[in-house]
Amino acid sequence: MDRYAVIGHPVSHSKSPFIHTLFARQTFQQMTYEALDLPEDRFVEGINVLFANGLRGCNVTVPFKQEAYHYAQQLTERAKLAQAVNTLKVTDDGIILGDNTDGAGLLADLKLEFGGLENQKILLVGAGGAARGVLGPLLKANPAQVVICNRTPAKAKALADQFSDYGHVDYSLIEALDESFDLIINATSASLSGHALALPDALIHHKICCYDMMYMSGLTPFNQWAKNLGARQVLDGVGMLVSQAAESFAIWRGLRPGTRSVINELRRNLRT
């Protein structure tokens, strides 16, 4: 039976084993999937042992995505662009392939829940690894513009400059933002600590959609803020989590599982 895992530190909270167990059941795959915690300073040593003992592939989460990027022997174009890897696979010829499915997961969920991004004006909040992982795929979806804002403006500018060849991307000071956006994506981890973002209330209007890449059992603080101000739609990262997992599953197993039923099951699981 083929063995897969999610690697992180900490990782016991991960919903990936729940998700991939449902995918395997749905597609009749003979495989196991578990959460494995590696010490922060022993990623390479630990992953070498796992692959030597027959691990066929793994997801990689905080804090190892950049280490996985350097560990992989071959990289997909989207992994190179993100400069981070969340999926490793042992190919048929024994090469360790590194990929990044975060952007594909976000776009799949947005397509399902929001619609196409073509000609939309998008505000991306945050300039860290999560933002970097989705910016390339967002720009490839042909929005009218992506504007990046961050508590540290220099980081937003650096990210915009790096991706300037891939589409219309700019940066802005938070205090200069206005109500012209169709979609706001929160790529920060503020919601996990229960903090709302210091964004202008004027951003929110009755046509806007707000998407938090984080998730919890109820509304995230970001989505609660947007809903209170009258946003048309608020979405969290559950759909993105399941969709990026489906992309990883397809890389490993060569077939793509359905996501809708798994998203519903995960939401029920989060409420219990």
Looking at residues 119-141, what average pLDDT do you find? Answer: 95
Does 103-238 match 2-99 at the fold level? yes
Question: DSSP assignment, residue 157?
Answer: H
Which architecture does CATH list for 2-99? 3-Layer(aba) Sandwich (3.40)
For domain 103-238, which CATH number applies: 3.40.50.150, 3.40.50.720, 2.40.30.170, 3.40.50.300? 3.40.50.720
Residue range 77-117, pLDDT digits in tens: 999 999 999 999 999 999 999 999 999 999 999 999 999 99
CA separation, residue 204 to residues 131, 211, 235 (Å): 21, 12, 14
Taking each continuous run of H as one helix and of E as one strand, the counts in the chain are: 10, 12
Tell me, what's the pLDDT at 196?
78
Tell me, what's the pLDDT at 192?
80
Residue range 190-237, pLDDT digits in tens: 888 888 788 999 999 999 999 999 999 899 999 999 999 999 999 999
Tell me, what's the pLDDT at 126?
96
- For the chain, the structural domain boundaries read 2-99, 103-238
The two tokens of residue 263 are: 């998203």
Tell me, what's the pLDDT at 235?
98
Please report, rounded to a whole number, the percentage of residues in the chain having pLDDT higher than 90.
93
Q: What's the rounded Cα separation, in Å, for the pair 113 and 263?
A: 12
Tell me, what's the pLDDT at 241?
97
Q: Residue 186 in contact with residue 197, Cβ under 8 Å?
A: yes
SS3 143: coil
| Nearest Cα residue to 50 out of 67, 38, 62 | 38
Residues assigned a catalytic role: 65
Q: What's the rounded Cα separation, in Å, for the pair 264 and 125?
A: 27
Given a cut of 90, is residue 258 above it in pLDDT? yes
Question: Binding site for shikimate, residues?
Answer: 14-16, 61, 86, 102, 215, 244
Question: Binding site for NADP(+), residues?
Answer: 77, 126-130, 150-155, 213, 237
pTM for this prediction: 0.95
Question: Binding site, residues?
Answer: 14-16, 61, 77, 86, 102, 126-130, 150-155, 213, 215, 237, 244
Tell me, what's the pLDDT at 107?
97
For the chain, give the mean pLDDT: 96
Please report, rounded to a whole number, the percentage of residues in the chain having pLDDT higher than 70.
100
Tell me, what's the pLDDT at 261?
97
Q: What's the rounded Cα separation, in Å, for the pair 270 and 88?
A: 27
